[in-house]
Structure 1
Amino acid sequence: MKQLYLMRHAKSEWDDPELDDHDRPLSVRGERAAPLMADHLKGRAVQPGLILCSTARRTRDTLGFLAPVLDGVPVLFERQVYTFNPDSLFDRLRLLDDGLKTVLVVGHNPALQDLILMLTEGQAVTAARKALEDKFPTAAYAELDLDIGSWRDLATGCGRLAHFMRPRDLA
């Protein structure tokens, strides 16, 4: 059994049309939501063995708010996680070391939402699943229980949505 935690970056700033997408900072709203989610992760005693984080500024800024809660967890900032394609994330996750039981990905939509829906395909439709199907908003967080012994075995339908939380649910 493996666990996969996924968090979308907090709300980012769109005001500067000259700024490259990769370099967009968090907005004021994002700076309010990220600490709420950090407190939520703390309350759930989230302690992954590794954090995979996109290289985009907004994901790094979001992770900055989570860092005190996830103190000491190794972080890999990877360009491959800066993607909107779930297949790219899927391929990266299949390369994880099997010594890792739990991994947190801090990334982007639609890749995160599509990956979650792919991994939980065919599973029971719960209220949380319906909410996630509708939208995986900025700073949203999900936990998947994966029925696999090796990350190489990651496949469509191998997961179960164990938890889903949005900042608005905490405010």
Structure 2
Amino acid sequence: MTRRLILMRHAKSSWDDPRLDDIDRSLNARGQRNAKAMGTWLRTRGYFPDQALVSVAARTQQTFDLVTQGLGMQPELRVIDGLYLASELRILQELKKATGQTVLLIAHNPGIGEFAARFAQNPQGHGDFLRYPTCATTVYEIGAATWPEVRFGDNPVLEFAIPREIDI
């Protein structure tokens, strides 16, 4: 059976309270709308994760909650300290521990954008793919038989989307 990765950057966060530590920032109103819309987009495209790997930051967990509302389902959730502001190498290390068939991974830039580009067998020509803006989402088919065997550059991109361009 085919393994898939749904790679998502957290939705747009709020900077309203400068006293908050970065890890504690939540989503702003646009981010909340976009996260739910991306969940709906995933549902309409038939991408249903059975496991989610999510950074410990408030904004990634809130993104996950809203995505699942749009999806209309709740995958198994693993909140992972190591995904907070992780490098692309650390993201790969955490992904190798996945157990689901279709995994949703939500993390942060710059690591997630660098991961997206290196992970792809066929990097997208979309102007925002390398920038990987908030709530950007890439769906990959996994080019390895198991998660521990997954490598950079072996994974075909099935779809790439950003909130302002999806039609739901």
Q: How far did 1:9 drift?
A: 0.8
Q: How far did 1:49 drift?
A: 2.0
Matching residue of 1:47: 48
Q: Is the 8 A contact 2:36 2:66 kept in 1?
A: yes
Q: Is the 8 A contact 1:47 1:70 kept in 2?
A: no
Report the Cα distance in structure 1 between the residues aligned to 2:80 and 2:122, rounded to whole angstroms.
33
Between the two proteins, what is the percent identity of the paired residues?
30
Large movers: runs of 4+ above 6 Å: none
Matching residue of 1:127: 125
Matching residue of 1:158: 154
Q: Is the 8 A contact 2:37 2:67 kept in 1?
A: no
Q: Is the 8 A contact 1:46 1:70 kept in 2?
A: no
Q: Is the 8 A contact 1:147 1:159 kept in 2?
A: yes
Matching residue of 1:57: 58
**RMSD over aligned Cα atoms:** 1.7
Aligned pair 1:103/2:99, yes or no? no
- Give CA deviations for 1:103-131 in whole Å, capped at 9, x if unaligned: 110111112111111112xx445434x54
Figure out how many residues of one structure are paired with residues of the other and give that number.
165
Matching residue of 2:3: 2
- Identify if the C-alpha distance between structure 1 residues 126 and 83 changes in structure 2 by more than 3 Å, giving closer, same or farther: closer
Report the Cα distance in structure 2 between the residues aligned to 1:3 and 1:170, rounded to whole angstroms.
20
- Identify if the C-alpha distance between structure 1 residues 19 and 103 changes in structure 2 by more than 3 Å, giving closer, same or farther: same
Q: How far did 1:169 drift?
A: 0.2
| Amino acid corresponding to residue 138 of structure 1 in structure 2 | T
If the length of structure 1 is used for normalisation, what is the TM-score?
0.88
Q: Is the 8 A contact 2:88 2:112 kept in 1?
A: yes
Matching residue of 1:85: 87
- Identify if the C-alpha distance between structure 1 residues 139 and 126 changes in structure 2 by more than 3 Å, giving closer, same or farther: closer
Matching residue of 1:143: 139
- Give CA deviations for 1:56-106 in whole Å, capped at 9, x if unaligned: 111111111122325241111111121231111111111223xx3211101
Report the Cα distance in structure 2 between the residues aligned to 1:140 and 1:22, rounded to whole angstroms.
20
**Structure 1 unmatched ranges of 5 or more:** none
Report the Cα distance in structure 2 between the residues aligned to 1:166 and 1:117, rounded to whole angstroms.
15
Report the Cα distance in structure 1 between the residues aligned to 2:74 and 2:20, rounded to whole angstroms.
32
Matching residue of 2:78: 76
- Give CA deviations for 1:20-54 in whole Å, capped at 9, x if unaligned: 00000111221221222122112112211211111
- Identify if the C-alpha distance between structure 1 residues 12 and 96 changes in structure 2 by more than 3 Å, giving closer, same or farther: same
Q: How far did 1:165 drift?
A: 0.4
